[in-house]
Chains A and B, each alone.
Chain A
Amino acid sequence: MPRITIDGRPVAADTGSTVLAAALKAGVYVPHLCFLPDLDPYGGCRLCVVEIEGMRGLPAACTTPVRDGMVVHSDVPAVNHVRRVTAELIIADHQASCLECTSNQRCELQRAAAHLGIDQSRLRPGTRRAVKDTSNPFFIRDMSKCVLCTRCVRLCHEIRGVGAIDVISRGYDARVAPFWETPIVESTCESCGMCVDACPVGALRPKNEQLPPAELVRTVCPYCGCGCGLVLGVRGKKIVQVRGDGFDTGKQAQLCVKGRFGLDFVSSPERLTSPLIRHNGKLEPASWDEALALAAGGFSRIRDTFGPDALAGFASAKCTNEENYLFQKFMRAAVGTNNVDHCARLCHASTVAGLGMAFGSGAMTNSVAELENADCIFVIGSNTSEAHPVVALRIKAAVSKRGADLIIADPRRIDLTRFARFHLRHRCGADVMLLNAIMHVIVTEGLEDRDFLDERTENFGSAWEVIRHCSPEAAEAVTGVPAGDIRGAAVLFARAGRAAIVYSMGVTQHVTGTDNVLALANLAMLTGNVGIESAGVYPLRGQNNVQGACDMGALPDWFPGYRKPADNLVRKSFERAWGRSLPEKPGLTATETLDAVFKGRIRGLYIMGENPALSDPNVSRTERALEKVDFLVVQDIFLTETAAHADIVLPGASFAEKDGTFTNTERRVQRVRKALPAPGEAKEDLWIIRALSERMGYPMIYPDAAAVMVEIAALIPIYGGISYERLENGGLQWPCPDGSHPGTPFLHRGGFIRGRGRFHPTPYREPAELPDAEYPLLLSTGRLLHHFHTGTLSRKTGGLETLSRPGLVEVNPDDAEVFGIRDGDRVLIESRRGRVEAWAAVTGRARQGMVFLPFHFRETPANVLTNDALDPSAKIPEFKVCAVRVKPASVPL
């Protein structure tokens, strides 16, 4: 560790750090503007100049690396004089109206000026005529205050990989602007707001942060499986500020637009504030006592008349681990049925099944941060930069900082293709064929990892029997990807030292979902990329806590911790812990539950925080099921499309109003902390489940969420070492079997969880429904950056709504010509199951022969069209492929 002296003070610096970083770390303030710890050294503002003995001139502290024994003079007249001149030049161009500025007292220019003893009266209106761009719904760009430190520019390019803005023109005219100086909303800006937080002055400022917060609460983002840490600034009963949680790293933690600006839903006036009971067909407010008594009475009656298996519950990947744990415990112990499931069925059931069969665990094998050090990344069926934006940052960094090779397999031209060496635009649903062909190339070229195959895996022979028929040429005919590209990509992947596979719903939501996952597992094993750092298989889980909900056993065929109800030992141990005898037979999956409603086998439904009326395939059928079921209780924070069908609605608490934990996509258990009281009569979900259970004769006594975690740790071995005390210092990745275990960044080290990794033959099967003469186009559904899932949360935030116009369907230009559609036309999309109207966006993003429709919007409910055909083993519906026809709508709306 190099030791240096700054103004006579001995300072121990980190190796490789700069003089400025060392000084700041030691608490010595050296004026600076362009320096930001996250970014590469820049040396643009010259405010940080220092005198260093033995060096000529005045070097910039932020670009000078420390050397042992350096003697630095910072706060000395000669240096300060130079700094003062520089600062005054900056100030002359700066519109200084500090009192009206939201950055007042947080401004780094003010601080530097004060340090240098620059008279406040020098801070006066600047001379630059600059525009104020208020086009973004979330922040203002007031360039009259810009000091050209270029932090925003470098951050947007280096870290976000977006590059929406840059310094344009030169000399006195130089300024920061988007391409062609359009308003920022018309640029490629993703509104992540990270540049806003990086700006040292008030040039970039959020629109909604008028007041400084009174209290800061560390918690976790409620949107996606990235599980970014948030710091909520709270004042009164409102969230007044949101930042990424960089406490661990000292850097600015990156968020996406949803986490940074999408939390207004918490204080939405549409929140449910009191229980509702249906009277004469209308939902009316009621007291908790009434509502709970009715709910418990209804459930008990059904259980007693038709047996416990006439009831089913949907837990929620949005709720905490503690809530999911209690929910399934309620269903299993208080009701006595295994009919409990949640939306993981709709996104990653095939992952849990496939990776479980191949590796012995359905979870992501490695950690997200490791992606940055991978040599090759293969992204298939994941529009990462829109659906998992913060994971995408790691992928972009691997490419731009370390020169990793990126291979994308996606029918659509997604944003990440900008960074890719190969973009394999295969036909939707032909994934297995593509993967088999890639493996074919690897084996025929002799690039497989023989040692790994022999020592760590089994059954390669039977997989090879299938693969050997899948030459790239044969695959070209099926997938539409040129054989040469398949070869190139395969060789690139196989030759890489550490190669990672990233996938998501584009792989899982097919009737062949499990096969797709198995084929990916085969590929990872074939190249020896499991059980080592920065390689492995990354299923990106959609919801913030879908991993946790699965871990907690909110699944019909698994008890908590992935243990089989049929196993007597397992069942006995849970029976002892819960004091009830437990059902042995696996329950119904979410998709089967709705079928069972029609057959009259399911009569009562308890749905916590899910919205199947918009998220499930073939929604008109789902709606009919919700209508038909005798007794429906919905617990949610909004009156969702599903809740509108309920007999009883119970108002729950949002993520900001409760304590608990979420487990993100990399198995990291993180603490969610209560920042606000729930609005009105709304209650924490734990309280609601306990109250219901008590009324059904099964009291559950827990003083708080921490106590639930104690029980979870005792019953689920992989959570054995997890406690709220330990989580205070950051998250822990399971398996974490005991209190001293540091958590597990990557799985299968030295051996697979199931012993040997198992190859499975994956013959190519066609999607359940392919385009034909009648329905000639293929429809795929997916997500947009600015929205989340059915929009229950994201559409309650006004600004997000303005950023992505609802109801656009992407059509390829060639198809548009064939079907007589022009950009901006109102079109009718029809499938065998329903019809939806939307606006056509004619764009090369969509592959020829396919149309793409996001499923967030109730105006264009994509799932009216989708096919509810199921994957035979995982029971996941085929959201990603169905046949449609598109034509201009006759009557414009």
Chain B
Amino acid sequence: MEDIVALRLEETLRRYPKSRSSLIPVIQDAQSILGYLPREALLKVADYLGVPASAVYGVATFYAQFHLTPRGRHQVKVCQGTACHVRGGRSVLEAVKTELGIGPGETTADRKFTLERVACVGSCSLAPVVLVDDRIHGSMTPEKFRKLTQVSAAKERARHRVFRIRMVFKIPAADTPLFKKNAACAGKVIPETAPYSFTGLRQV
């Protein structure tokens, strides 16, 4: 893990008592800092809380909210429930896979999309269904999906600009320890795995 991220994780850990009951809130925080839960982060949590690593892993794999692989900025969920299946959900999934170049559970190299297959999402009348960031897109076809990704990519670029500007103005006050640490690390290259919220800081 890159130093800056490790530092923030450690800072978060220290806010919790060393006990098993902190486990879920701690990994929730870890995920919100890191964007996902890498192996080293879980080991760190286990070490800090004095809980066996296997137990941390057990919890992290039990809840759907936790992700062990980097997440894309957009979640694409292709329904494979019965209704969708009957109406061509399978070929939609195939198309999505080719379009994004990844399989279910994976994330594109540019961290834009994560693909997942889901069972019925309760919109069978619109089948086959794809969800992008929890927005339902019904009567999906491979063609329609391609358009959809282009739109969201454009939106993303716009949002990204806004976000950067906001981040520049929201740097923490210069005398806080967090700022000092961040500033100390700011010169370093922040890798692809860096959380979204740091992209802004890189400009500082």
Of B51-59, B158-166, B181-189, the one contacting chain A is B51-59
Interface 1/0 per residue, A411-455 and B, CB below 8 Å: 000000011000000000000000000000000000000000000
Closest to A163 in B: B52
- A188→B56 CA distance, assembly (Å): 14
The verdict on A166 contacting chain B, using a C-beta distance below 8 Å, is yes
- A786→B110 CA distance, assembly (Å): 46
Chain B: minimal CB distance from A845 (Å): 12
- A163→B46 CA distance, assembly (Å): 11
A166 touches B58 (CB 8 A): yes
CB proximity to A under 8 Å, residues B4-60: 39, 42-43, 46, 50-58
- A188→B43 CA distance, assembly (Å): 12
The verdict on B82 contacting chain A, using a C-beta distance below 8 Å, is no
B50 touches A419 (CB 8 A): yes
B50 touches A166 (CB 8 A): no
Contacts of A157 in B (CB 8 A): 52, 55
Of A167-175, A304-312, A610-618, A677-685, the one contacting chain B is A167-175
Q: How many A-B residue pairs have CB under 8 A?
A: 47
B53 touches A188 (CB 8 A): yes
Interface 1/0 per residue, A621-634 and B, CB below 8 Å: 00000000000000
The verdict on A155 contacting chain B, using a C-beta distance below 8 Å, is no
- A201→B53 CA distance, assembly (Å): 26
B62 touches A178 (CB 8 A): no
Known: A157-B55, A180-B57. A169 touches B39 (CB 8 A): no
Interface 1/0 per residue, A168-193 and B, CB below 8 Å: 11100000011110000001100000
Contacts of B52 in A (CB 8 A): 157, 162-164, 166, 179, 188
Contacts of A550 in B (CB 8 A): none
A178 touches B50 (CB 8 A): no
Chain B: minimal CB distance from A171 (Å): 10
Chain B: minimal CB distance from A764 (Å): 33
The verdict on B61 contacting chain A, using a C-beta distance below 8 Å, is yes
Closest to B49 in A: A418
CB proximity to A under 8 Å, residues B103-134: none
Contacts of B51 in A (CB 8 A): 163
B62 touches A168 (CB 8 A): yes
CB proximity to B under 8 Å, residues A739-789: none
Chain A: minimal CB distance from B106 (Å): 17
Closest to A174 in B: B62
Contacts of B57 in A (CB 8 A): 166, 168, 177, 179-180
Selected from B42, B54, B61, the residue in CB contact (under 8 A) with A178 is: B54
Selected from B39, B43, B50, B58, the residue in CB contact (under 8 A) with A168 is: B58
A187 touches B61 (CB 8 A): no
Chain A: minimal CB distance from B35 (Å): 18
- A168→B62 CA distance, assembly (Å): 6
**Which has the most chain A C-beta neighbours within 10 Å: B42, B54, B61?**
B54
Q: Is the interface of A mostly helix, strand, loop or mixed?
A: mixed
Closest to B53 in A: A179
Closest to A157 in B: B52
Selected from A169, A179, A418, A419, the residue in CB contact (under 8 A) with B54 is: A179
Selected from A165, A179, A418, the residue in CB contact (under 8 A) with B42 is: A179
Q: Is the interface of B mostly helix, strand, loop or mixed?
A: helix
Chain B: minimal CB distance from A531 (Å): 34
Closest to A162 in B: B52
Chain A: minimal CB distance from B72 (Å): 21
Contacts of A180 in B (CB 8 A): 39, 42, 53, 57
Closest to A171 in B: B62
Chain A: minimal CB distance from B61 (Å): 4
- A162→B53 CA distance, assembly (Å): 10
A163 touches B55 (CB 8 A): yes
- A164→B53 CA distance, assembly (Å): 8
Contacts of A419 in B (CB 8 A): 50
**Which has the most chain A C-beta neighbours within 10 Å: B43, B55, B58?**
B58
Closest to A189 in B: B54
- A166→B46 CA distance, assembly (Å): 13
Selected from A164, A165, A169, the residue in CB contact (under 8 A) with B62 is: A169
Interface 1/0 per residue, A484-510 and B, CB below 8 Å: 000000000000000000000000000
Contacts of B56 in A (CB 8 A): 179
Chain A: minimal CB distance from B163 (Å): 33
- A337→B61 CA distance, assembly (Å): 69
Closest to A181 in B: B57
B50 touches A418 (CB 8 A): yes
A187 touches B54 (CB 8 A): yes
- A180→B54 CA distance, assembly (Å): 8
Known: A418-B50, A419-B50. A166 touches B55 (CB 8 A): yes
Chain B: minimal CB distance from A407 (Å): 15
- A434→B39 CA distance, assembly (Å): 38
Contacts of B42 in A (CB 8 A): 179-180
Contacts of B39 in A (CB 8 A): 180
- A179→B58 CA distance, assembly (Å): 8
Closest to B64 in A: A170
Closest to A165 in B: B54
- A163→B52 CA distance, assembly (Å): 5
Known: A179-B42, A180-B39. A170 touches B62 (CB 8 A): yes
Contacts of A165 in B (CB 8 A): 54
Contacts of B53 in A (CB 8 A): 163, 179-180, 188
Contacts of A164 in B (CB 8 A): 52, 54
- A187→B50 CA distance, assembly (Å): 16
- A846→B67 CA distance, assembly (Å): 34
- A169→B39 CA distance, assembly (Å): 16
Chain A: minimal CB distance from B18 (Å): 10
Chain B: minimal CB distance from A61 (Å): 27
Closest to B43 in A: A179
- A162→B54 CA distance, assembly (Å): 10
Chain B: minimal CB distance from A623 (Å): 43
- A169→B61 CA distance, assembly (Å): 5
- A419→B50 CA distance, assembly (Å): 7
- A166→B42 CA distance, assembly (Å): 14
- A204→B42 CA distance, assembly (Å): 27
A163 touches B54 (CB 8 A): yes
Closest to B46 in A: A179
- A167→B46 CA distance, assembly (Å): 16
Closest to B63 in A: A170
Contacts of B46 in A (CB 8 A): 179
A167 touches B58 (CB 8 A): yes
Closest to B58 in A: A166
Closest to B54 in A: A166
CB proximity to A under 8 Å, residues B51-107: 51-58, 61-62
Contacts of A168 in B (CB 8 A): 54, 57-58, 61-62
- A166→B58 CA distance, assembly (Å): 6
- A612→B51 CA distance, assembly (Å): 41
- A177→B42 CA distance, assembly (Å): 15
- A620→B4 CA distance, assembly (Å): 51
- A168→B42 CA distance, assembly (Å): 14
Contacts of A167 in B (CB 8 A): 58
Contacts of B55 in A (CB 8 A): 157, 163, 166
Contacts of B43 in A (CB 8 A): 179
Contacts of A162 in B (CB 8 A): 52
Chain A: minimal CB distance from B204 (Å): 30
**Which has the most chain A C-beta neighbours within 10 Å: B46, B55, B56?**
B55
| A-B contact sample (6 more), CB < 8 A, given A165-B54, A168-B54, A177-B54 | A166-B55, A168-B57, A168-B62, A169-B62, A179-B46, A418-B50
Can you list 23 A-B pairs with a CB-CB distance of less than 8 A? A157-B55, A162-B52, A163-B54, A163-B55, A164-B52, A166-B52, A166-B54, A166-B58, A167-B58, A168-B54, A168-B58, A169-B61, A170-B61, A177-B54, A179-B42, A179-B46, A179-B57, A180-B39, A180-B42, A180-B57, A187-B54, A188-B54, A418-B50
Give 3 closest A-B pairs by Cβ, nearest first. Answer: A163-B52, A166-B58, A166-B54
Task: Name B residues whose Cβ lies closer than 8 Å to a Cβ of A.
Answer: 39, 42-43, 46, 50-58, 61-62
